[in-house]
Homo-oligomer: A and B are copies of this chain.
Amino acid sequence: MADVELDPAGGMAAGSGRSGKAATLHDVARKVGVAPRTVSRVVNDEGGYSETTRQRILDAIEELRYRPNLLARGLITRRSGTVGLVVNDLTDPLVLALAASAQDSFREQGRSMFFASSDDDADRQGAILQSLWSHAVDGMIVIPVRDSYRQLVDYVRRGVPIVVVGDLVGAQNVTRVMFDLDGGFRLAVGHLLDTGRRSIGVIGSAASPYGRCPGQEGIGNAFFASDARTQLVRAEPTVSGGAAGLEQLLELRPDLDGVLACNDMVAIGAVAAAQARGRRVPEDIAVIGCNDIDSGAVVTPSLTTIRLDASLLAGAVAVALQGLIDEPGVQRDPVVLPVELVVRDSG
């Protein structure tokens, strides 16, 4: 009514907390002179009321600035309008990109998103799942800690819709969404072979959260029927891990002319180490990364990489979760998302 005052204390007593006493369904009903049930019908678009009544209720809602209390509603409907996103590693740019996109996808579904990270700690993940359950989330998206299948299935059994990102061992009966890393690996190897590389090293980490990691099983297939020499080393999934990995490769294969890294940070480290050893990239050694993090486009040389599209993942994950919510208990096939080779300067 009156113009907005800019004094945040307003007319209310200080120190009184949420003193505004938000309007309730009953306040609206009383003002209009109908039963709360009728207001509830209008709020939820249930139909079964006269247009006149609807309009008067809507006006009262506007005037009282009524908003339904989602806690009260959720207590009855067991739908809180919230979902949880549980990730494993906040230093991973793809995880952050997923969080960003997932938030968008869920907003379109009218849901608010809880966000939490287990930091790859199983106990912490357990506490997070517990907390989300206590908040009665409608579902969860989880990039799980390794070997935490039993933790998850516990909630699945209680009826919580859960979508797992990646290829969690043992989780064949939990809905999964993952990238086609094998396919990306084949693309990358094909590109290296096509551009004449014949001594190719793979720097793999223990596992990828997004699918089966290049450098594990399947490595042989990509090279099948080629005349390339190959070598696999393991490394931490970091820049320094990548540097260490490259030096290891060079010792094993002095003629190394191509490298596949299991993620872009590893690739960046490998490039730096190669240059430090006097090898030019890509002239002497081609390096291909994976994930397509932002940095990859701005480093020199810019990184050729297997692009994992975070918004594609976010969309797929949101759709899968909605499916589980709509039809609980239906068994879902894993969703495998396509990847793309982005050719830039490094290989």
What does the 1/0 interface line of A277-304 toward B look like (CB < 8 Å)?
0000000000000000011001110000
When the two chains form the complex, which single residue of B69, B78, B116 contacts A75, counting CB atoms closer than 8 Å? B69
Count the A residues whose beta carbon is within 8 Å of the partner chain — how many?
Answer: 75
Taking CB as reference atom, which chain B residue is nearest A275? Answer: B300
Taking CB as reference atom, which chain B residue is nearest A110? Answer: B131
Question: How far apart are A11's CB and chain B's nearest CB, in angstroms?
Answer: 9
Using known A-B contacts A6-B153, A72-B75, A99-B96, determine if residue A159 contacts B18 with beta carbons closer than 8 Å.
Answer: yes
Pick out which of these stretches binds chain B: A207-215, A249-257, A324-332: A324-332
Taking CB as reference atom, which chain B residue is nearest A303? Answer: B298
Taking CB as reference atom, which chain B residue is nearest A85? Answer: B115
Taking CB as reference atom, which chain B residue is nearest A174? Answer: B8
Residue A80 lies at the interface, judged by CB distance under 8 Å to chain B:
yes
Taking CB as reference atom, which chain B residue is nearest A100? Answer: B90
**What is the bound-complex CA distance between A300 and B116, given in angstroms?**
34
Using known A-B contacts A19-B159, A78-B18, A300-B299, determine if residue A131 contacts B103 with beta carbons closer than 8 Å.
Answer: no
Using known A-B contacts A99-B96, A134-B70, determine if residue A18 contacts B173 with beta carbons closer than 8 Å.
Answer: no
**Residues of A75-116 contacting chain B, CB below 8 A:** 75, 78, 80-82, 85, 90, 93, 96, 99-100, 103-104, 107, 112-116
| Chain A interface (Cβ < 8 Å from any Cβ of B) | 4-10, 12-20, 22, 67-72, 74-75, 78, 80-82, 85, 90, 93, 96, 99-100, 103-104, 107, 112-117, 128, 130-136, 150, 153-154, 156-160, 170, 173-174, 239, 268, 272, 294-295, 298-300, 327-330
Interchain residue pairs with CB less than 8 A apart (28): A4-B153, A10-B157, A14-B328, A15-B327, A15-B328, A15-B330, A18-B78, A18-B159, A20-B157, A67-B130, A67-B133, A68-B134, A69-B136, A71-B135, A80-B135, A81-B135, A82-B114, A82-B135, A90-B103, A112-B131, A113-B116, A114-B115, A268-B298, A294-B295, A295-B295, A295-B298, A295-B299, A298-B299
